[in-house]
Structure 1
Amino acid sequence: MNPNIDEFSEFLVAYTAKMLSIGTYTARVNRCVCRVAKAYGYNVSLTAFTKHFSISVVDRNDHSNHRTYVENIPFSPISFTHISELSALSWHVKDERYEFSKTVQIYNQICQITLNSHIKSLLLMSVASASFCRLFGGDFGGVLAVLVATFFGFLLRLYLAKNTIDIKIQYIIVAFISSFIAYLGVYFGFSLTPDATIGSSVLYMVPGVRLINAVLDVLNENVLVGISRGISAFLLIICMAAGVYITLSFSNIGLLNV
């Protein structure tokens, strides 16, 4: 027996919002949502943008029985674990014909999966940036400077995000702080490779997932949202560059090839 359209629509709206908010590209969201809907006897039409989406749910046996919603996409950290689990749920619903109540229960369990602690993320991100510094020719002092710069920069970014500061302002402030800490390592003589040191100190801020999703959306003919995401990512890169430029503008290093 198919679930009530009101209950099912509310679930599908929550499922779609969650998928879009955690960094899933649009075509994948559309496939997963349609897969779940068809398993319960409904057709779905989904249109996604950068900040909101619209979704229409129609009973396949009675087209007069339909619901349409326009919802905002909430802000959530990117989570590949949630993307994988929610995508897998759509396949289980299709292949194993879950009861609707079981689907909702599993969905709630997936949403409650605890992500990596901030301390673990801080440490891994710092080590990764320091490794890039060494890969780009940085000396040992530069590696240490980048390690410290990334740690405090990422910590500041978490604080600003928690206080709902606009993400563009976040990028400017955090890029400045990270690059300035790395510059201090050069200024006090710990590093003799300023280009690799300062350049690597902000690599963790590159919006890679946004750029990849923008390309995937365009390739999957979701051109409008793909271009929007690409412009959004490009603006963040400009903000990141502005933060680094503030550091370079009052340093005695000059304009570096970072």
Structure 2
Amino acid sequence: MNSNVPVDTTVITDHEVHNQLKNIAKFFCDYASTLLSSGATTMRIQRKVKQMAEAWDVEAIFTIMPANVLFTLWDKEGEHSYTCISPLAHAGINFDTITRLSRLSDQVFTEEVTLSEANEKLQEIKKIPRLNGWIVLLLAAAANAAFCRLFKGDWPAIGIVFFATLCGFFVKQRLQAWKIDYRAVTVVAGVVAAVVSCVGLVDFSHYGLENFTLTDTPVTALGTSVLFLVPGVPFCNFVNDLIYGHYLSAWSRFVHAMMITVSLSLGLVIALLLFDIRMI
């Protein structure tokens, strides 16, 4: 065999560049999808991905669609590219995950973390268990009761809202664990919370208690009992995306938030119809 025959290494080099772009694109898709499903704004995702792309000497262009994240990566010379698409995860709002993933991006940029190391850390972050469900349940009930006080509810009304939120949020947690559609979950949780809070509107005169009432602000209790279902984070992210020009993502978030709002309103209306309550 003639050892002086020149070997063309261009194909090998192109293949290596292609694989590198492919691995980075897959990482970015996973990273962005996890951030997005945890409640991060599009602007944050863009900033953090751009930071890591700069550290790894690639150019990243991404588009967030209603059900997918689309990434296209280019090398610095603009000769090679790779496109990757990933479905959005549905993990629920998790600010701890957002904070950890933001720190990961900072580490990649400042500490020269390699792709394999970053991917390992990403998978570790995704495996971190969420806050205990019972603790979340109690905190949500306390927060919703605080809303009742904010809207001038008296102490009995605050107690009613606390218990109503416990019931409604517990039902919501169980239905979410069974992978029920989020709109059905919102309707059922809204019905449960509103029905429980209707105890403040009970007319005890039928039971011989002419001057007895549980609360002097029963309407406040009823109105605030479903506030734990209000999609505050999607609405805030919608405004943020709208301001920074991410119109497709903004519209997607707005529609999602409105679907939840309509669902919780439907749950409240069903509860009012069940008890024949007319809010006049």
User: When the two structures are superposed, what TM-score results if normalisation uses the length of structure 1?
Assistant: 0.92
Cα distance in structure 1, aligned partners of 2:171 and 2:237: 26
Cα distance in structure 1, aligned partners of 2:260 and 2:194: 16
Q: What pairs up with 1:1-258 in 2 under 5 angstroms?
A: 4-61=20-77, 63-187=78-202, 189-255=213-279
The Cα shift of 1:48 comes to: 0.1
Cα distance in structure 2, aligned partners of 1:101 and 1:168: 38
Q: SS of the counterpart of 1:37?
A: helix
Cα distance in structure 1, aligned partners of 2:27 and 2:246: 24
Amino acid of the structure 2 residue aligned with 1:95: T
User: Is the deviation greater in 169-178 or in 180-189?
Assistant: 180-189
Q: SS of the counterpart of 2:86?
A: strand
Cα distance in structure 2, aligned partners of 1:159 and 1:50: 26
The Cα shift of 1:186 comes to: 3.0
Amino acid of the structure 2 residue aligned with 1:10: K
The Cα shift of 1:99 comes to: 2.5
Spell out, residue by residue over 1:40-92, the C-alpha distance to the aligned partner (whole angstroms, 9 max, x if none): 1111110002321211112223x343211222101011111111111121122
> Residues 50 and 60 of structure 2 are in contact (CA less than 8 Å); yes or no, is this contact kept in structure 1?
yes
The Cα shift of 1:252 comes to: 4.8
Cα distance in structure 1, aligned partners of 2:134 and 2:92: 15
The Cα shift of 1:199 comes to: 0.9
The aligned counterpart of 2:10 is none
Q: SS of the counterpart of 2:69?
A: strand
Amino acid of the structure 1 residue aligned with 2:96: T
> Residues 186 and 193 of structure 1 are in contact (CA less than 8 Å); yes or no, is this contact kept in structure 2?
no
Cα distance in structure 2, aligned partners of 1:234 and 1:12: 29
User: Is the deviation greater in 238-247 or in 224-233?
Assistant: 224-233
Count of paired positions: 255
Cα distance in structure 2, aligned partners of 1:118 and 1:159: 10
List structure 1 segments (4+ residues) > 3 angstroms apart after TM superposition.
Answer: none
Spell out, residue by residue over 1:174-227, the C-alpha distance to the aligned partner (whole angstroms, 9 max, x if none): 111100000024326422312110111111110000000000000000112212
> Residues 179 and 198 of structure 1 are in contact (CA less than 8 Å); yes or no, is this contact kept in structure 2?
yes
The Cα shift of 1:106 comes to: 2.3
RMSD of aligned residue pairs (Cα, Å): 1.9
In our comparison, the structure showing a higher alpha carbon Rg is 2
* Identical residues among aligned pairs (%): 27
Cα distance in structure 2, aligned partners of 1:14 and 1:229: 19
> Residues 143 and 197 of structure 1 are in contact (CA less than 8 Å); yes or no, is this contact kept in structure 2?
yes
Amino acid of the structure 2 residue aligned with 1:193: T
Structure 1 residue ranges without an equivalent (≥5): none
> Residues 186 and 192 of structure 1 are in contact (CA less than 8 Å); yes or no, is this contact kept in structure 2?
no
